[in-house]
Structure 1
Amino acid sequence: MKKILLLSSFLSTFAFAQIQKVEPMFWWKGMKNPEVQILVYGKDISKYNIELSDNVKIQNLQKTENPNYVFVTINTNEVNKSSFKINIKNKNKIVDSYTYELKDRQPNSANRSSFSSKDVVYLIMPDRFANGDESNDSKKELTDKANRSIPDGRHGGDLRGIINNLDYLQNLGATAVWLTPVNEDNEKQHSYHGYAQTDLYKIDGRYGSNEDYRELSQKLNQRGMYLIQDYVTNHWGISHWMIQDLPSKDWIHTFPEGENGFRRSNYRTTTQFDPNASEIDKIGALNGWFDTTMPDINQANPLVLKYITQNAIWWIEYAELGGLRVDTYPYNNKEGMATWVKAITDEYPNLNVVGEAWMHSPAHVSYWQKDSKIGEMVGYNSNLPAVMDFSLYANMTKAFQEEESWDKGLVKIYESFTNDFLYPDINNLLVFFENHDTERWNEIYKGDIKPYQLATTLIGTVRGIPQIYYGTEIGMAGDKNTGGDAAIRQDFLGGWKSDTQNAFNPNSRTATQKAFYDFTAKLFNWRKNKEVIHSGKTKHYMPQNNVYVYFRYNENESVMIILNANPEKQTFKLDRFAESLNGFTSGKDIISDKVLPINTNGEITIDGKSSMIIELMK
């Protein structure tokens, strides 16, 4: 009987104090901020004593209302060993422990380079790009299983599929790759998009492993390319292990009337800076949930803010990332996010971070860029280096379809650029005509290559960082209005062994696919070495007859860009552009490779619905 009681006591003690999770799992020596806050999670763990081995000092130990959590802060500068133990003690007895490692950083890690206006960003939804490892299409421990017959289901694309096609991306002229989120998303359905993450330190097993993710980043870096992580600060998936056992009630925003505390956001994020906004509308926008399976995270909670800050830094350091794109930026607590971004860029001064501020007014978008004059007027600085140019996007979707009038046609593009004075860093805007949330450009124009060439010419030659969406460069379309999000996120042709056609292979492309791809590759490979495009000045001229002319120039070069949105050929005199053409006698159109006479006494002819990019010569 005595032996049974002793065994029962031992098993009870061991099970009671078991460490279930430690996050971050390890850290690094030599960070600019030497402090790291370690989350230790286990059943009733806060009721036990926490001690560190090797005389490592606990700077701060914080408990929450949930006894399953303890947050331990240490100063890594005070730790002289490469590892130490986190010991859980019941009285004087160690009942469980975790070996915590402090790794050495990669050489020059703090000064890692990042994507900029020199780059072309290629946006991939990994589940829909290429299936490089069929063995991970479904995972026993993950609910949503692969089934390509379900438009909104998992289709099996993965990190290995992207790694296998890096030649394709590089040949296209892409120099940075933005993946929609690839951390674990274990929601029951629609998990393929990744925006309802359930584990922030683990790559979804259906995409591969943490090591696969790092391998992708390293192989991109070896090619002089960057991996951009899509980071979600505003919401997690409702199945996230921490949401299922909240550290504290204020970890997320909840509302008493809704199931699981749900209330949908009113999406009016202009309340963030509107001086006339009511508090109820502000709360409705910022604290409301993005969707029923996406609880709204409270960045005003210091523990939450520290958790997501360290998580972002952990991925940058571990995976050698080349930048971040932050989802739904204005839906977050803006003071918390200013602190979040500053902590990251303090650690990595060269790292670029671009925020998604889906607003159509340039004043509203520019508010979110670091050192914005608009923000300064109301006493706010976001510290966010880059923003997405949704104003230009909104105008582009209309401008190429309209006949010219006072406020229609290419004048919309012209007027968009008249607001450039609002942005403190005009070259650090992401410019695009579609992404994973918008209607496919080739659907809008029914597969007509000419509007695609016009739009690609525009984003490839204006200030900022051009971004293209996977598959559009081979003519992929999809009607969001009838097929929903799945229609704009179809599988890339040739990404699966069973596909009847492989558009990754130039010998297998149709004539239409070849025309789309070749135009894109020619433009973006030309752009790679054009400093005049990366950081030059702009001079533009009001559109006439729906023809828009602008120049990119610096002390050494000048490039003339012509966009003709008319169906008909246009011929016009060049004397109007004398201030930009004086001293030049000819130019080479990089699209047609033709050398043209260019002088202020002459004229030029451009085909209908076409563009010209003319390198001027003296």
Structure 2
Amino acid sequence: MGNLKSISDIDFHNLIKPEYFPSPDAWEDQVLYFLLLDRFSDNKEKGFLDNEGNIIGTGNTAKYLPVDFENAIQTDPEAATWREAGQKFVGGNLVGLKSKIGYLKRLGISAIWISPVFKQVASQETYHGYGIQDFLDIEPRFGTTQDLIDVVKTAHEHGIYVILDIILNHSGDVFGYINGQPDYQNGKTFPVEGFRNAAGTPDLPLGLVGDDKYPDAAIWPKELQTADAFTQKGKIIHWDDSPEFLEGDFEVLKDLHHGSGTVDNYSPSDTLIALTKAYKYWIALTDIDGFRIDTVKHMDPGATRYFASVIKEFTMTIGKENFYLIGEITGGRQRAFDTLEITGLNAALGIDDIPDKMEYLVKGYRNPADYFNLFRNSELVHKESHIWFRNKVVTLFDDHDQVRKGDNKARFCANDSGALSLIAVVGLNLTSLGIPCIYYGTEQGFDGKGGNDRYIRESMFGGDFGAFRSKHAHFFDEENPRFPEIAKIAAIRKEHFALRRGRQYLRQISGNGTEFGYPVLMGDRMTTIVAWSRICDEEEILCAFNTDQENETIAYVTIDESLHEIDSNLKCLYASAPSPAQVNVETRNGKAVRLTIPPAGFVIYG
């Protein structure tokens, strides 16, 4: 393991195991947790609970305390050191992740999405994992192949699935152009100086470099060591211009040539065939449960369909009947759902519309209907009958890119008193349609202030680039008041089928019990109750939050008329602050209940 240099070295006959961890019946039942491996855990913390719930006293990094806030930026030189550390590898690894599986289990997580773990270009600081140099090996700073196997095994023992982040569209910066990285110019092919050596100098011929002479140079497996493996057309400048966004390099990351042809008659290149076999290898070897595929927008639909078809066929043969393929498909809902229909991917990652509408709805800056309508549109996927997108979208409000925010990147808790509304936005994420995903550090209230990618990629284990501008203090604190609240909501979601697979309805509200209407944004900011129901069979669960961060809000909320008797009641299943233990069903606008929600509060009744 870990020293393969060619696809031909893979012996699937002996590699495939007699039995694999079965897929979930439904991925919408799961709660995902996305983590950047380099920023999660280095296995050197102390004072946290291990996988069995025992406190760990060893290690040299103590738990974060309020006095540690901004302790890394007390002087200008210290602040510069902290900022610089955020651009480099900081030390998170697979062994550290393995030691925190219990932490994630107790939070209510049932599936982990791990950033790319494969070997990076040696001369660069691609700590995020998206600059792959060897598709058949693990980045040594992250650990070993056996470490990845151990992470998956430990996760499965705790009932947690594992999704790996993978890249098909591009490799790392494995070669250099003559005269430096050019911009895309009408499909022109640019001359290449050569593959980069271990130090980053492009002095190796753009061809086979030998089976083991240069393990840290060029690109591996060796089937990719050919000029034909790359498009060689310079970096994308116009991100929505076709064919530029399909052919160009992703900044300095080099675009791979996948093949040619229409979707129905696509001819995969040797490169795409080799990459697909490489990812089959990782499934067979490690028993992972799904892939999140990076930058799908920048791939030919035919290439994506080829990959999805081969992977699905392979995983079905080994007993993983519902191996999940999640595509990062930027550019709005129409492109996302068209891509799913054409390619056979299972779900789209909501990097665009969903995070924006989720964050700013809870903060009072978006119309509720704009968010809830994202999941309900038959015409979008060319269906005549109604369809609910409960298992076609991964929903999240914070992520590692935040393309939508431009130069104003920050986590939910950074602005607009977001920390006050954190439980409300998590509640919306976990109880509305879609497959919910929590970005690492959310449960500790990370703020990600700074306006740049690095600041929304803080370190959970401290080191030189800890969250809240700190250093040398870890954040695996299960006594943080946010942690148990998120765990409670996740537990209620798991208990109630309707919250996972039910239909969804935005509900009308009324302040006086007579005049009802859907909450809408009027003026700069909306201060109101936003409520929705999840219904499955004869069960209705009513969820609501208060966008007013300063005042308690009271409103009548419409519920399903056929499922409730007058003078019956709905019991409070969850409240982020003291709220009525039950609410009575009254004859108003059909039938309604009177909700009282604390400032920035979130409640569940059923």
Q: Structure 2 length normalisation: TM-score? A: 0.72
- Structure 1 unmatched runs, 5+: 1-18, 30-101, 135-145, 256-261, 269-280, 373-380
SS at 2:6's partner residue?
strand
**Which residue, 482, 490, 495 being the options, matches 1:524?**
490
Alpha-carbon deviation of 1:499?
Answer: 5.7
Q: Is 1:478 equivalent to 2:448 in the alignment?
A: yes
Q: Map 1:458-607 to 2 at 5 A.
A: 458-481=428-451, 484-493=452-461, 501-506=473-478, 514-541=480-507, 542-543=518-519, 546-567=528-549, 568-574=551-557, 578=561, 581-582=564-565, 584-591=568-575, 595-601=581-587, 603-607=594-598
Determine the structure 1 residue equivalent to 2:12.
28
Letter of the aligned partner of 2:396 in structure 1? F
| Post-superposition CA distance 1:321-355 (Å, at most 9, x none) | 01110001110111011011011111223111100
Determine the structure 1 residue equivalent to 2:398.
434
- In 2, Cα distance between the equivalents of 1:188 and 1:247? 18
Q: Contact 1:184/1:199 (CA < 8 Å) preserved in 2?
A: yes
- In 2, Cα distance between the equivalents of 1:208 and 1:241? 21
Determine the structure 2 residue equivalent to 1:288.
248
Q: Map 1:603-618 to 2 at 5 A.
A: 603-615=594-606
Alpha-carbon deviation of 1:248?
Answer: 3.5
Q: Contact 2:569/2:583 (CA < 8 Å) preserved in 1?
A: yes
**Which residue, 247, 250, 269 being the options, matches 1:302?**
269
Determine the structure 2 residue equivalent to 1:312.
279
Q: Is 1:449 equivalent to 2:419 in the alignment?
A: yes
Determine the structure 1 residue equivalent to 2:208.
none
Structure 1 pair 425–308 and aligned structure 2 pair: CA distance change class (3 A) = farther
| Post-superposition CA distance 1:495-539 (Å, at most 9, x none) | 799965443243xx5xxxx22212211111222232212211112
Q: Is 1:159 equivalent to 2:94 in the alignment?
A: yes
Q: Contact 1:410/1:546 (CA < 8 Å) preserved in 2?
A: no
| Post-superposition CA distance 1:247-287 (Å, at most 9, x none) | 443211113xxxxxx2325221xxxxxxxxxxxx3121100
Q: Map 1:240-279 to 2 at 5 A.
A: 241-242=218-219, 247-255=225-233, 262-268=234-240
- In 1, Cα distance between the equivalents of 2:164 and 2:295? 14
| Post-superposition CA distance 1:359-379 (Å, at most 9, x none) | 23x22221122xx3xxxxxxx
Q: Contact 2:292/2:328 (CA < 8 Å) preserved in 1?
A: yes
Alpha-carbon deviation of 1:28?
Answer: 2.3
Q: CA RMSD, aligned part only?
A: 2.9
Determine the structure 2 residue equivalent to 1:413.
371
SS at 1:590's partner residue?
strand
Determine the structure 2 residue equivalent to 1:396.
358
Determine the structure 1 residue equivalent to 2:302.
335
SS at 2:488's partner residue?
helix
Determine the structure 2 residue equivalent to 1:345.
312
| Post-superposition CA distance 1:297-343 (Å, at most 9, x none) | 11115211211111111111111001110001110111011011011
- In 2, Cα distance between the equivalents of 1:332 and 1:189? 25
Alpha-carbon deviation of 1:385?
Answer: 1.0
Percent same amino acid among aligned pairs?
Answer: 21
- In 1, Cα distance between the equivalents of 2:28 and 2:35? 19
- In 2, Cα distance between the equivalents of 1:561 and 1:534? 13
Determine the structure 1 residue equivalent to 2:19.
107
| Higher CA-based Rg | 1
- In 1, Cα distance between the equivalents of 2:363 and 2:242? 36
- In 1, Cα distance between the equivalents of 2:546 and 2:564? 19
Q: Is 1:368 equivalent to 2:368 in the alignment?
A: no
Letter of the aligned partner of 1:529 in structure 2? E
Q: Contact 1:399/1:411 (CA < 8 Å) preserved in 2?
A: no
| Post-superposition CA distance 1:48-93 (Å, at most 9, x none) | xxxxxxxxxxxxxxxxxxxxxxxxxxxxxxxxxxxxxxxxxxxxxx
- In 1, Cα distance between the equivalents of 2:148 and 2:9? 17
Structure 1 pair 479–493 and aligned structure 2 pair: CA distance change class (3 A) = same
Letter of the aligned partner of 1:516 in structure 2? R
SS at 1:520's partner residue?
helix
Alpha-carbon deviation of 1:147?
Answer: 9.9
Structure 1 pair 422–600 and aligned structure 2 pair: CA distance change class (3 A) = farther
Structure 1 pair 28–594 and aligned structure 2 pair: CA distance change class (3 A) = farther
Query: Does 1 or 2 have the higher relative contact order (CA < 8 Å, sep 6+)?
Result: 2
Q: Is 1:231 equivalent to 2:166 in the alignment?
A: yes
Q: Contact 2:290/2:323 (CA < 8 Å) preserved in 1?
A: yes
Determine the structure 2 residue equivalent to 1:34.
none
- In 1, Cα distance between the equivalents of 2:414 and 2:232? 39
Structure 1 pair 562–214 and aligned structure 2 pair: CA distance change class (3 A) = same
Structure 1 pair 400–585 and aligned structure 2 pair: CA distance change class (3 A) = closer
Letter of the aligned partner of 1:588 in structure 2? C
Structure 1 pair 253–330 and aligned structure 2 pair: CA distance change class (3 A) = same
Q: Contact 2:6/2:220 (CA < 8 Å) preserved in 1?
A: no
SS at 2:544's partner residue?
strand
Aligned length: 471
SS at 2:148's partner residue?
helix
SS at 2:427's partner residue?
helix
SS at 1:543's partner residue?
coil
- In 2, Cα distance between the equivalents of 1:224 and 1:456? 22
**Which residue, 122, 141, 144 being the options, matches 1:206?**
141
Q: Contact 2:118/2:132 (CA < 8 Å) preserved in 1?
A: yes
Alpha-carbon deviation of 1:358?
Answer: 1.6
Letter of the aligned partner of 1:385 in structure 2? N
My pick for the range that moved more, 235-244 or 595-604, is 235-244
Alpha-carbon deviation of 1:164?
Answer: 1.0
Q: Contact 1:122/1:178 (CA < 8 Å) preserved in 2?
A: yes
Q: Structure 1 length normalisation: TM-score? A: 0.70
Determine the structure 2 residue equivalent to 1:125.
36
| Post-superposition CA distance 1:466-500 (Å, at most 9, x none) | 1011111111111252xx21111111145799965
- In 2, Cα distance between the equivalents of 1:166 and 1:148? 29
Letter of the aligned partner of 1:220 in structure 2? A
Q: Contact 1:147/1:154 (CA < 8 Å) preserved in 2?
A: no
SS at 1:460's partner residue?
helix
Determine the structure 2 residue equivalent to 1:62.
none
- In 2, Cα distance between the equivalents of 1:518 and 1:20? 44
- In 1, Cα distance between the equivalents of 2:428 and 2:378? 16
Q: Contact 1:122/1:470 (CA < 8 Å) preserved in 2?
A: yes
Letter of the aligned partner of 1:543 in structure 2? P
Structure 1 pair 422–283 and aligned structure 2 pair: CA distance change class (3 A) = closer
Q: Contact 1:400/1:451 (CA < 8 Å) preserved in 2?
A: yes
- In 1, Cα distance between the equivalents of 2:559 and 2:42? 53
| Post-superposition CA distance 1:90-121 (Å, at most 9, x none) | xxxxxxxxxxxx33523257x64487111111
- Structure 2 unmatched runs, 5+: 46-80, 175-216, 260-267, 316-320, 382-386, 403-408, 508-517, 521-526, 588-592
SS at 2:171's partner residue?
coil
- In 2, Cα distance between the equivalents of 1:459 and 1:229? 22
Alpha-carbon deviation of 1:393?
Answer: 1.7
Determine the structure 2 residue equivalent to 1:75.
none
